[in-house]
Structure 1
Amino acid sequence: MKGLKKISILLIIFFIVLTTVLISFASKSDAAEDELDLKLEAAILIDADSGIVLFEKNADVVLGIASMSKMMTEYMVLEAIDQKKISWDQPVEINEYVHKLSAAPGLSNVGLTQGEAYTVKELYEAMAIFSGNAATVALAELIGGTEKNFVEMMNKKAEELGLKDYKFVNSSGLNNSSLLGNHPAGGPDEENVMSARATAKLAYRLLKDYPKVLDTASQPRLEFRDGRTYDNFNFMLPGLVYGYEGVDGLKTGSTDFAGYGFTATAKRGNQRFISVVMKADTRDMRFTETTKILDYAFNNFKNEIVVEKNYQLKSKDSVPVTKGKEDQVEIQTVDEIILPIKKGEEDQYVPKLVLDKGKLDEKGNLTAPIKEGDRVGYLTIQTKSNEPISYLTSEDENLVKVDVVAAEDVEKANWFVLVLSGIRGFFGAFLNNVSTSVKGLF
């Protein structure tokens, strides 16, 4: 009976401890998500230079993205221009379908006249500034031959860019039911979907690969050939309703299915951030919530030099050398490492040296001759607690790695020195074995 009582008490204690741990874990998770008290379904904040994720909420939940889809169309237009497949001044004649779509009620559009030619630049600006849906379709047909082909290209490009959790069924982000009986892919009522993380990754690659996208995205108004002025739907551009210092892109989106979303980017000084908000309840809420996220970014994170150029790790400032005139060679970094560090956490990051094993012998020595500047490995950053740093992509880890090289020449020793060194090594080992054997006798 006493044994059963002990087991019962131990089980009760175990479940109390387990419950406490689970409640604590849940509280920490809730605190992390509720830190900004965001009133929307999903969000993410990343550093635009390093791809480090600074905040996230439901970032892997797949949701509608509406016109934020146009970032992919923008990417593919800019890529086609870069590859000289099309040009900015190339004329695009408007067909009957695109004309009718441009006049469809309730959709964001600039009017496009059937049979009239518009330049790629005009259509691109209508898409990027005023989210023109018909202009988007015209560009899709130009690049893909048909919008159906273009949508296949969009999904393929998403895979190439390393996106996950996505599906494109049209080029514009509208619900297929709004396309006047046409639906390039998917069902008649489907829409494009992505996660906040995938959307952020698309924006990140768009800015990295084609930074000139901001030349158009930052324009608060479109002056079109019809003589009308159209305000950019990004109301956080300076001069518009929710003007925010540093905002210069990137794309809004809204449908009944997707709610209100916004991919923003802002730069102040040497800091640039990208934020994504998804499924806000109102048009204004997507901007107020983005303001919270960007305020959090600029108020709490600062780019810090965590490793200086020519930095030498105190515990490993040199590497042993064999067959050289010197038995050590000093090593140092070739460049600095800059990271967005949260205020108060400056001392939480430490450098980690990784030597290139392919250049070391079995004893961990480099072999002379060695030239100043020869790469011997790399230096990266890790947290003191060994908690992983969250990157948007695995490739971004390379952005916080810097090469470590020899800081000086080490010439190969001549044959006489090598012979003496060999003799010294032999007798050293011999005497050491003799000494060990003698000690063993006593």
Structure 2
Amino acid sequence: MLTTVFSIQDVKAEGNNPHLDINAEAALLLEQSTGKIIYQKNIDSVLGIASMTKMMTEYLILEAISEGKLTPQDEYNVNEYVWTISHDRSLSNVPLRRDGTYNVQELYEAMAIYSANGATIALAEMVAGTESEFVKMMNEKAKELGLEDYKFVNSTGLNNADLYGMHPEGTGADEENVMSARATAKLAYHLLNDFPEILDTASIPKKVFREGTDDQINMSNWNWMLPGLISEYEGVDGLKTGFTDFAGYSFTGTIEKDGMRLISVVMDARNADGQPQDTARFAETRKLFDYGFANFSLKEIYPANYQIDKESNLKVVKGKEKSVEIETKEPLKTLVKRGEEESFEPLYVFDDKVVSEEEITAPFEEGTKVGHMTVKYTGEGQDEGYLFENQQGPKAELVTTEGVEKANWFVLSMRAIGGFFSDLWSTVSSTVKGWF
């Protein structure tokens, strides 16, 4: 975890694709199911994240609900801190009554749709008792999820200076949450994988807070790429925007289209003149999505029951049969760039606990897993790697095509005797040949 806030000017570099000019300090595009990175720019530079912070808050709230520690009907009584923040209309907020009671569901919708900061703090307090304790949970969860290059100092993404001197204990008065684009993408990846229901709310373009009451407020989602909003893009259904003067205009987006889900991160986006602009984050995200769908697709490149020629027989030790065939249990899919369908070589990776030196010991059943098949990229393009360092490409489970029983003691004894005389004859034969 970081202990120092980095300047957004610390690192500058060009992206990996000269034809894709992304006007942002950092950017990343990946395919969700494989974790394959399609495009990257400055993805390890540590930058402000503003309200993209709320993805971590959402993760912890959804986790608390899934564990039964919180329910959508649980109610919150507004304290002075939350009341004060919620009535600052220079910030994104739904004003909450000092004597009001609000349930988790409506506070969550205000946070996820309208990025309401007072509602966010209220939820943090419901989970952890205080925002200070919640911040500790945020940093602990980031470590647990394997994130690097992050620091959370509050639950909202505001600068601590905006919290009227009531910022969480142990944090500085002017600090702000920071992450790298890689860490932000990892958080979004885990959020979508672990709690796909996040999209039920994140995809709502507009909703009325406390509709039918004197307190009703029209909430328009800050993600303007959703249906019916000014930067609409078909298929977009999440995820979270962010803006502060420190972080600039940023956006973590996601879209499902043509059987493929992409996750994007754009940090400190600029317009064509190099100036910060609210719509720039969506224009740059549009470039990423256009590039991804125009050039990449998820394809089945090897079917189920596939075998690599001359490599699909394992020697069986102590079995009634001397060998067994292996094959893939399911099809192998991977992310393929247009025109590179043939740029992959299949490889077997055996489980050392099951297979040793291409031998398997009987007895075993049909369908016994012996490892997996993956692929090696053999094309001439640049391989951008994977979001997670330990990912090694797509996998299809390798299994035996039949079971083999253990041979009885007599057969094993005869084989041992046969093997002894075979070795003896080989030795004698070699010796005799050496005489001439």
User: What letter corresponds to residue 228 of structure 1 in structure 2?
Assistant: I
Choose the corresponding residue for 1:94, options 78, 91, 94. Answer: 78
**CA 150–195 in structure 1, closer or farther in 2 if over 3 Å, else same:** same
Choose the corresponding residue for 2:338, options 340, 343, 347. Answer: 343
**CA 48–344 in structure 1, closer or farther in 2 if over 3 Å, else same:** same
In structure 2, runs of 5+ residues without a counterpart are: 1-12, 270-275
Partner residue, 1:380: 374
Partner residue, 1:158: 142
Counterpart contact for 2:242–2:249, Cα < 8 Å: yes
Question: C-alpha distance in 2, partners of 1:108/1:388?
Answer: 40
Q: Secondary structure at the residue paired with 1:242?
A: coil
Instruction: Report how far residue 167 of structure 1 moved.
Output: 0.4
The residue correspondences of 1:39-438 to structure 2 (distance < 5 A) are: 39-184=23-168, 185-225=170-210, 226-280=215-269, 281-360=276-355, 364-384=358-378, 390-394=385-389, 396-397=391-392, 400-438=394-432
Counterpart contact for 2:81–2:166, Cα < 8 Å: no
The C-alpha deviation readout for 1:11-36, integer Å capped at 9, x for no partner, is: xxxxxxxxxxxxxxxxxx95724331
Instruction: Report how far residue 355 of structure 1 moved.
Output: 1.9
Q: Secondary structure at the residue paired with 2:164?
A: coil
Question: C-alpha distance in 1, partners of 2:294/2:394?
Answer: 23
Counterpart contact for 1:218–1:249, Cα < 8 Å: yes
In structure 1, runs of 5+ residues without a counterpart are: 1-28
**CA 154–30 in structure 1, closer or farther in 2 if over 3 Å, else same:** closer
Question: C-alpha distance in 2, partners of 1:389/1:131?
Answer: 33
Q: Secondary structure at the residue paired with 2:207?
A: strand
Q: Secondary structure at the residue paired with 2:267?
A: strand
**CA 374–251 in structure 1, closer or farther in 2 if over 3 Å, else same:** same
Partner residue, 1:3: none
Counterpart contact for 1:63–1:194, Cα < 8 Å: yes
User: What letter corresponds to residue 279 of structure 1 in structure 2?
Assistant: D
Instruction: Report how far residue 237 of structure 1 moved.
Output: 0.3
User: What letter corresponds to residue 406 of structure 1 in structure 2?
Assistant: T
Question: C-alpha distance in 2, partners of 1:50/1:99?
Answer: 43
Question: C-alpha distance in 2, partners of 1:360/1:238?
Answer: 52
Counterpart contact for 2:251–2:266, Cα < 8 Å: yes
Question: C-alpha distance in 1, partners of 2:424/2:295?
Answer: 62
Question: C-alpha distance in 2, partners of 1:365/1:389?
Answer: 35
Question: C-alpha distance in 2, partners of 1:383/1:255?
Answer: 41
Question: C-alpha distance in 1, partners of 2:16/2:250?
Answer: 21
Question: C-alpha distance in 2, partners of 1:323/1:176?
Answer: 69
Counterpart contact for 1:382–1:389, Cα < 8 Å: no
Instruction: Report how far residue 418 of structure 1 moved.
Output: 2.9
Question: C-alpha distance in 1, partners of 2:435/2:137?
Answer: 79
TM-score by length of 2: 0.90
Question: C-alpha distance in 1, partners of 2:122/2:405?
Answer: 65
Which aligned runs of 4 or more in structure 1 are off by greater than 4 angstroms?
385-389
Question: C-alpha distance in 2, partners of 1:365/1:429?
Answer: 20
Q: Secondary structure at the residue paired with 2:264?
A: strand
**CA 224–278 in structure 1, closer or farther in 2 if over 3 Å, else same:** same
| Percent of aligned pairs with the same amino acid | 51
Instruction: Report how far residue 336 of structure 1 moved.
Output: 2.1
Question: C-alpha distance in 2, partners of 1:242/1:255?
Answer: 20
Q: Secondary structure at the residue paired with 1:32?
A: coil
Pick which of 52-61 and 411-420 moved more.
Answer: 411-420
The C-alpha deviation readout for 1:293-345, integer Å capped at 9, x for no partner, is: 01111111110113322221213111011332321101112222211111122
User: What letter corresponds to residue 204 of structure 2 in structure 1?
Assistant: Q
Higher helix share: 1
The C-alpha deviation readout for 1:58-88, integer Å capped at 9, x for no partner, is: 0000000000000000001100101111110
Pick which of 248-257 and 333-342 moved more.
Answer: 333-342
Instruction: Report how far residue 416 of structure 1 moved.
Output: 3.8
Question: C-alpha distance in 2, partners of 1:322/1:158?
Answer: 46
Question: C-alpha distance in 2, partners of 1:262/1:252?
Answer: 4
Question: C-alpha distance in 2, partners of 1:355/1:228?
Answer: 59
Instruction: Provide the aligned length of Structure 1 versus Structure 2.
Output: 412
Question: C-alpha distance in 2, partners of 1:135/1:86?
Answer: 15
The C-alpha deviation readout for 1:113-158, integer Å capped at 9, x for no partner, is: 1110011010000000000011101111111111111111111111
Counterpart contact for 1:372–1:409, Cα < 8 Å: yes
Counterpart contact for 1:383–1:389, Cα < 8 Å: no
